[in-house]
Amino acid sequence: MTFLDILNYVYAQPFRPFRIQMVGGRTFDVRHPEMIRVGNTTVHVFAPSPEDDRVYERVHLLGLSLIESIEYLDASVTREGS
């Protein structure tokens, strides 16, 4: 996976929520483009607070080489990652 692959999802018009699947099985749902920042070799995914989704509770640092796949979410998925 390259940073350009991720950027294609982040800057798609219109934006569509997507899920990042890691090699170890962990997933991260990106529901808004503000939830993610893409670097040359890493991705930062911001996890919102359960009490107020305007505030971020933590940041996950993902290595691009450990991302297995990305897929668009359908409207029925409601979790912010696992």
* Strand ranges inside the chain, DSSP E: 18-22, 27-30, 36-38, 42-48, 56-63, 67-72
**pLDDT at residue 75 in the model:** 54
27-52 pLDDT, tens digit per residue, is 999 999 999 999 999 999 999 888 98
Q: What is the CATH number of the domain that holds 29?
A: 2.30.30.100
Token pair of 76 as six digits = 């029925």
| Containing structural domain, residue 10 | 3-72
Express as a percent the part of the chain with pLDDT over 90.
79
Phi, psi at 73, each rounded to 5°: -85, 150
Residue 81 within a domain: no
In a domain? residue 48: yes
The tally of domains found in the chain comes to 1
pTM above 0.85, yes or no: no
SS3 label, residue 39: coil
Q: Tell me whether residue 14 is in a domain.
A: yes
| 82 lies in some domain | no
